[in-house]
Structure 1
Amino acid sequence: MKIRKFQIQEADLIYKYLPANYIECLQCNFSSRKKVSSDDIMIAFWTDSPQWVERLFKLRNLLVKPFGIQGGNNDSRHKLEKSIRTGGTYKFMSISEKSDEETILCANDKHLVMYLSIKVKELNERDKDVTVSTLVKFHNLLGRVYFSIIYPFHYIIVRSMLKSVLKKFENQP
């Protein structure tokens, strides 16, 4: 599965949240006979992470707690899944917009706001393109410092989580 850099398109819902201090857009192709929605991938993205990623998030949550940065959103998979499917809110994450192909999650705290867009485009009855776009807007200096520290991990983690999630959907009957 090859993940490639891509550009946010004007037709994407996430486009209206530009400009941002940080922009990343990745795309890859996967095959599944099963209908896979952007909600399905968003839910798996936040609830079915590889173990090493889970451990990193736990460490991150411990380290940032003294600075008032929020963390830890996956203690109730059912509540998180419900908020994604219904366009609701769970802790500091909310679904800011949805369409048939795209779901945008917003994580907002006093230091920065992050938008994560998952867009699934069916190419034919089997092949699909998934596009994952991340936008980050800093509210203050602490947001800038925090993101500069996590950026190298972000790059590795997003790609790893995307591959892991898509393998679960790939080639399903």
Structure 2
Amino acid sequence: MIGTVREVTPNVDAGTLLAGAQFVDAFRVEIGAATVNAREACMRMVLHGPRWIDVLIRLRNILVTPFGLKTSGEGAPAPHGMIGLFPVLSETPERLVAGFNDHHLDFRIVVDVACDADGRWVTSTTLVRTHNLLGRTYLGLIMPFHKLVVRSMMGRVVAPTR
């Protein structure tokens, strides 16, 4: 059904995207006849999300600063620019890979756009590799929010207005 976000089995090469990833999940939304490329889909997800996600990100940045973790916009220059707080690492019209490495964990967000005889859809896959107790603790703390945030962001691919 168009606009319905559902969790799906991840269909990415985790070893190539983030070798050693301990967490991988994926969500898909059908977009009907809409034509978007991976960058536009990612921009709709990240830049047009609900305001409560912006509040959570600001709170996260405040809470992690004392631990020396990266906050929005920090880090090495992105080869393909930034989308919101995410450095774009690689990009084709069908796939965009964003994310960064930090001392507690590394993460990637993969946005795929595909179509077949049944329609068009966008899939967002998250991969995380933790490095230490801080990374495992952080991942455990954000997990209750992760699925809510991703589902909400994915819904914006079809309806990008706030």
- Kept after mapping to 2: 8 A contact 1:114/1:135: yes
Q: Which moved more, 1:148-157 or 1:159-168?
A: 159-168
- Structure 1 vs Structure 2 CA RMSD: 2.9
Q: Does 1:62 align with 2:62?
A: yes
TM-score, reference length from structure 2? 0.81
Runs of 4+ in 1 over 6 A off after TM superposition: none
- Residue in structure 1 matched with residue 94 of structure 2 by the alignment: 101
How far the C-alpha of 1:65 sits from its partner, in A, is 0.9
Aligned length: 156
- Kept after mapping to 2: 8 A contact 1:13/1:97: no
How far the C-alpha of 1:97 sits from its partner, in A, is 2.5
How far the C-alpha of 1:73 sits from its partner, in A, is 3.4
Q: Does 1:165 align with 2:149?
A: no
Which amino acid is 2:38 matched to?
S
- Residue in structure 2 matched with residue 53 of structure 1 by the alignment: 53
Q: 3-state DSSP class of the match of 1:72?
A: coil
- Residue in structure 2 matched with residue 27 of structure 1 by the alignment: 28
Which has a greater percent of helix?
1
> Could you give the per-residue CA deviations for residues 107-155 of structure 1, whole angstroms, max 9, x where no partner exists?
221111110000011346xx41111100000121111111100110111
How far the C-alpha of 1:66 sits from its partner, in A, is 0.6
- Kept after mapping to 1: 8 A contact 2:14/2:21: no
- Kept after mapping to 2: 8 A contact 1:8/1:15: no
Which amino acid is 1:142 matched to?
L
Which amino acid is 1:26 matched to?
F
Identity %: 27
- Unaligned ranges ≥5, structure 2: none
TM-score, reference length from structure 1? 0.77
Q: What are the within-5 Å matches in structure 2 for residues 65-76 of structure 1?
A: 65-73=65-73
- Unaligned ranges ≥5, structure 1: 75-79
- Kept after mapping to 2: 8 A contact 1:92/1:107: no
- Residue in structure 2 matched with residue 40 of structure 1 by the alignment: 40
